């Protein structure tokens, strides 16, 4: 069976050239390039398979692969259609109908939502939502703000860098150390909240530091190994089960508010459509 199939494909392909698959100017081009049973693959089905400037060999390979994959799928599909029991086929057809209906309905609703829902959420709205729902924003893990600097202990004035690191703001520190390859391993933005797990990923040496000693506000940590010095400044900490700071959950709140607005709009839309159908005598209940 497989040998006959490949012979058939090869016979079909032997008549195919790159020129054969160039699109015609005529709109009613219905030339058949392959068929399985009563199902045909037309030349127009091969449009846009590859870029116009592709070479002949690659275009032929892409086209041949497409035809072969199409033929395999059709052969299996037709076999399945003939051999699936009638009761199971009826169930499948019902599922297909329901899926098609859902696609139409959801596409229509999504289009209406995108046209009618304002996705700009004002800061005051975010703050009000945060205050009213604080308990749902309890932390499941520790978070912290920190800055980190790693450098070769012999390549820089350790005392001077330490003083600079502790007293300077992140922006000042970044401008001073910018493009200095001695300080290429750093994380100087201490205005962003990180989970403790993400904090540990900054550098393997952090994993050996006791967690309790790390999770302390305004805490400076200095570690050295055989080559490098590591400075870590913990700016702020929130413990597990504490309320997450607003800036840490702001994007989540925006998503929640937009989702709530969408649900409200869709529910109102459903009711309005039914009301309009009854008013227009489109929907009749007997």
Listing DSSP states for 106-158 in one string gives: HHHHHHHHHHH------HHHHHHHHHHTGGGGB-SS-EEEEEEEEEETTTS-H
**16 and 151 part of one domain:** no
Cα-based distances in Å from 141 to 30, 187, 241, 263:
62, 21, 7, 30
**75 and 11 part of one domain:** yes
Query: Is residue 145 in a domain?
Result: yes
Predicted local distance difference test score (pLDDT) of residue 235: 92
Q: What is the distance between the alpha carbons of residues 232 and 44, in angstroms, rounded to a whole number?
A: 64
Query: Is residue 37 in a domain?
Result: yes
**271 and 234 part of one domain:** no
Q: How confident is the model at residue 249 (pLDDT cuts 50, 70, 90)?
A: very high
Across 53-69, average pLDDT = 91
Alpha-helical runs (H) found in the chain: 2-14, 56-83, 86-116, 123-132, 158-167, 170-177, 196-201, 211-214, 246-279
**22 and 57 part of one domain:** yes
Predicted local distance difference test score (pLDDT) of residue 172: 66
> Of how many residues is the chain composed?
286
DSSP state of 25: S
pTM: 0.66
Predicted local distance difference test score (pLDDT) of residue 153: 75
Considering 58-62, 91-95, 165-169, 220-224, the range whose residues carry the highest mean pLDDT is: 91-95
Total tally of structural domains belonging to the chain? 3
**153 and 233 part of one domain:** yes
**162 and 193 part of one domain:** yes
Query: Is residue 107 in a domain?
Result: no
Q: Decide: 205 and 198 in contact? Cβ < 8 Å.
A: no
State the first-to-last Cα distance of the chain, in angstroms, to the nearest integer: 57
Q: Is the pLDDT of residue 11 over 60?
A: no
**More confident position, 67 or 177:** 67
Query: Is residue 94 in a domain?
Result: no
Q: Is the pLDDT of residue 76 over 80?
A: yes
**147 and 234 part of one domain:** yes
Choose among 202, 217, 204, 77: nearest CA to 145: 217
**152 and 228 part of one domain:** yes
- Look up the domain containing 42 and give its range: 2-83
Query: Is residue 97 in a domain?
Result: no
Q: Is the pLDDT of residue 79 over 90?
A: yes
**127 and 261 part of one domain:** yes
**233 and 150 part of one domain:** yes
Query: Is residue 216 in a domain?
Result: yes
Query: Is residue 47 in a domain?
Result: yes
Q: What is the distance between the alpha carbons of residues 154 and 224, in angstroms, rounded to a whole number?
A: 12
Q: How confident is the model at residue 251 (pLDDT cuts 50, 70, 90)?
A: very high
**More confident position, 53 or 121:** 121
Predicted local distance difference test score (pLDDT) of residue 61: 93
Query: Is residue 113 in a domain?
Result: no
Last-in-domain residue among 83, 114, 149: 83
Q: Is the pLDDT of residue 6 over 60?
A: no
Instruction: Give residue-wise pLDDT tens across range 172-228.
Output: 666 666 555 566 567 778 889 999 999 988 777 778 888 888 899 999 988 887 888
Q: What is the distance between the alpha carbons of residues 284 and 286, in angstroms, rounded to a whole number?
A: 6
**67 and 150 part of one domain:** no
Predicted local distance difference test score (pLDDT) of residue 116: 93
Predicted local distance difference test score (pLDDT) of residue 284: 81
Predicted local distance difference test score (pLDDT) of residue 182: 64
As a whole number, the mean pLDDT across the chain is 83
**234 and 148 part of one domain:** yes
CA contacts within 13 A on the Cβ side of 213: 10
């Amino acid at each position: 069976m497989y040998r006959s199939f490949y012979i058939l494909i090869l016979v079909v392909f032997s008549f195919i050239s790159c020129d054969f698959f160039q699109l015609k100017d005529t709109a009613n081009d219905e030339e058949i390039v392959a068929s399985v049973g009563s199902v045909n693959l037309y030349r127009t089905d091969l449009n846009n398979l590859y870029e116009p400037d592709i070479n002949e060999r690659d275009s032929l390979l892409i086209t041949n692969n497409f035809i072969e994959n199409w033929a395999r799928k059709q052969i299996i599909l037709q076999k399945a259609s003939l051999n699936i029991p009638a009761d199971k086929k009826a169930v499948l057809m019902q599922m297909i109908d329901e899926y098609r209906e859902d696609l139409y309905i959801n596409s229509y609703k999504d289009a209406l939502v995108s046209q009618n829902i304002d996705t700009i959420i004002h800061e005051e709205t975010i703050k009000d939502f945060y205050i009213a729902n604080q308990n749902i924003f309890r932390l499941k893990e520790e978070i912290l703000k920190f800055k980190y600097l790693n450098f070769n202990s012999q390549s820089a004035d350790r005392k001077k860098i330490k003083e600079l690191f502790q007293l300077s703001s992140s922006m000042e520190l970044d401008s001073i150390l910018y493009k200095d390859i001695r300080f290429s391993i750093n994380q100087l933005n201490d205005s962003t909240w990180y989970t403790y797990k993400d904090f540990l990923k900054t550098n393997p040496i952090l994993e050996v530091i006791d967690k309790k000693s790390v999770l302390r506000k305004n805490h400076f940590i200095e570690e050295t190994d055989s080559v490098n010095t590591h400075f870590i400044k913990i700016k702020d900490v929130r413990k597990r089960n504490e309320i997450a700071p607003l800036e840490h959950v702001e994007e989540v709140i925006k998503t929640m508010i937009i989702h709530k607005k969408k649900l409200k709009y869709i529910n109102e839309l459903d009711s309005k459509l039914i009301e309009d159908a009854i008013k227009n005598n489109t929907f009749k209940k007997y």
